[in-house]
Amino acid sequence: MSFVAARARLRAAAFATFGVEAKWKALGAEPGVVCLVKVDGGDDVGTAGLAEATVETTFLHVRAADVPAPQPDDLVQLTDAADIAALGVSLLRILGEPRRARRGDVWVCEAVAVATV
């Protein structure tokens, strides 16, 4: 097995283990694409003039093979009831421009909750 194939299998296993089932809707349009996303929280530093503020941020990681061209205002609807209950959110909207992770096979997208439970 080549290194590229081994890395692809490892990435698939990570998404299968840590990912949550979702439906990715380009600009909110149906029917959407079923995929696995990894939800990652963290802090980001926002600035306004000379002031800085730490804000809670949510990032979604999705494989480029599943969603080839994510864009701002896409909607991501979580589909598994247990994941929705654990995360406290059922629908997220993509903010800003998604960017590729270092290896280029995963998109990293900043998101905001649209519908919470």
Where is average pLDDT lowest: 17-21, 54-58, 67-71, 85-89?
Answer: 54-58
Burial class (CB in 10 A: 0-12, 13-18, 19+), 26: middle
CB-based contact 110:58 (threshold 8 Å):
yes
Q: Dihedral of the CA atoms 18, 65, 98, 60 (nearest 10)?
A: -10
CB-based contact 39:20 (threshold 8 Å):
yes
* CATH 1.10.10 fits domain 3-116: no
For 105, how many CA atoms within 13 A lie in the half-sphere containing its CB?
Answer: 10
CB-based contact 108:101 (threshold 8 Å):
yes
Q: Three-class SS of residue 92?
A: strand
Question: pTM for this structure?
Answer: 0.82
pLDDT value at residue 72? 96
What pLDDT digit, counting tens, does each position of 65-111 carry?
999 999 999 999 999 988 888 888 899 999 989 999 888 889 999 99
**Residue of 100, 71, 93 lying closest to 22 (CA atoms):** 93
What share of the chain in percent tops pLDDT 70? 97
Domains in the chain: boundaries: 3-116
Give the pLDDT mean for 4-23: 89
CB-based contact 21:36 (threshold 8 Å):
yes
Q: Three-class SS of residue 2?
A: coil
Radius of gyration, CA atoms only, the chain: 15
pLDDT value at residue 86? 87
